[in-house]
């Protein structure tokens, strides 16, 4: 890959960032990453949500995301949903900045239904 190609890719990322920042100002949605741990391993999801008013609303949004691709959240099988709010910026998401090192989940649910 040439320096010109790398520069073009970065310009495209900056354009994507500007569009996402504008969209966030309009609708107030922010990226809310979470991991669904299950018997087959773990799946990473990215919700676009407004700041939830309560944990139950956020958990229900996560369950809907899992169900939208044909999965299910089964806490009775020791499955968990872990939210990592605040750790992922739009600059991280677009690849302009490296993501921060993993931290402890900001919210952890195990065996909780919405």
3-class secondary-structure state, position 37: strand
User: Residue 43: phi, psi to the nearest 5?
Assistant: -125, 135
| pTM of the complete model | 0.71
User: CB-based burial of residue 58 (10 Å sphere; 0-12 exposed, 13-18 middle, 19+ buried)?
Assistant: buried
> In 3D, which of 53, 61, 14, 54 has the Cα closest to residue 33?
61
Residue closest to 35 by CA, chosen among 74, 76, 2, 81 = 81
Arithmetic mean of pLDDT, 78-103: 81
Q: Is the dihedral of CA 66, 17, 89, 101 positive or negative?
A: positive
Half-sphere exposure of 22 (CA within 13 A, CB side): 6
Give residue-wise pLDDT tens across range 53-90. 678 888 899 999 999 999 999 999 999 998 876 667 89
Q: What pLDDT does residue 113 have?
A: 40
Quote the pLDDT of residue 114.
39
In degrees rounded to 5, what are phi and psi of residue 110? -140, 125
Encode pLDDT of 14-64 as tens digits.
Answer: 999 999 999 999 999 988 888 999 998 999 998 888 876 678 888 899 999
């Amino acid at each position: 890959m040439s320096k010109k190609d790398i520069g073009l890719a970065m310009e495209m990322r900056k354009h994507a960032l500007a569009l996402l920042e504008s969209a966030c100002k309009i609708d107030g949605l922010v990226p809310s990453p979470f991991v669904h741990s299950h018997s087959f391993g773990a799946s990473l999801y990215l919700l676009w949500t407004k700041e939830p008013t309560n944990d139950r609303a956020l958990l229900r949004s996560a369950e809907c995301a899992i169900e939208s691709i044909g999965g299910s959240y089964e806490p009775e099988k020791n499955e968990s949903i872990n939210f990592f709010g605040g750790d992922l910026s739009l600059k991280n998401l677009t690849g302009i900045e490296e993501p921060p090192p993993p931290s402890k989940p900001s919210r952890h649910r195990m065996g909780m239904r919405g």
